[in-house]
Chain A
Amino acid sequence: GIQVEQSPPDLILQEGANSTLRCNFSDSVNNLQWFHQNPWGQLINLFYIPSGTKQNGRLSATTVATERYSLLYISSSQTTDSGVYFCAVGPYNQGGKLIFGQGTELSVKP
């Protein structure tokens, strides 16, 4: 089946710093989503981005589908950005189910 790899697995930043999270996937997909999991376990939708570039405030994401990777940019990080970030992909012709990466655990220090 499709493999999803996220890097780095862990990231520690000072408040105000910028960061880039990467997601590589091993086959073509028709869905790609980025999530932030809060301390209570809720998955918060950040981006639905099977291709192209999107921006939402301090966050932006780019997916290059032909090269099978996606990037999540966080600028001017805040302590509230801490948590686990997941990339999830939906393979073609598999009913829309999502395959998740292992996540990147981000810790932003004041």
Chain B
Amino acid sequence: DTGVSQDPRHKITKRGQNVTFRCDPISEHNRLYWYRQTLGQGPEFLTYFQNEAQLEKSRLLSDRFSAERPKGSFSTLEIQRTEQGDSAMYLCASSPRGSGDNEQFFGPGTRLTVL
């Protein structure tokens, strides 16, 4: 078990470009979460999947953001027409779905800088 992985670890882009991040959860974890963390703040929830179904999206997730989890395995988070305010650390987490076991495990994050 190699833990949650994310790719890339760092991304620098120019304003207006599209970016896509990937998250590979711990194998057999049914739930996958995306969070965003800006400097000096705690992570904030963006969206989550149970298997391939996207079950909740935060108000933080504007229409420029889209997330997918085809086949219930890895997930991608795409940001279209990036803005400087999108600069943040994007964190992915996974957890098993089972009664009484909701512990989430986080990946190393993707740090996005929008110039």
Contacts and interface: CB of A to CB of B under 8 A. Distances in A.
Interface of A: 4, 30-31, 33, 35, 40-43, 45, 48, 86, 88, 90, 94-103
A100 B50 CA distance: 21
Contacts of B84: none
A86 B89 CA distance: 16
B37 to A, nearest CB: 8
Contacts of A103: 42
14 contacts: A41-B89, A41-B111, A42-B109, A43-B43, A43-B106, A45-B103, A48-B103, A86-B43, A90-B102, A96-B31, A96-B95, A96-B97, A98-B104, A100-B42
B41 interface: yes
B42 A31 contact: no
Interface of B: 31, 33, 35, 37, 41-45, 48, 50, 55-56, 89, 91, 93, 95, 97, 102-106, 108-109, 111
Contact of A42 (B33, B45, B95, B108): B108
| SS class, residues of chain B in contact with chain A | strand
Q: Chain A: interface secondary structure?
A: strand
Residue of A88, A94, A95 with highest tally of chain B CB at under 10 A: A95
Given A31-B102, A31-B103, A102 B95 contact: no
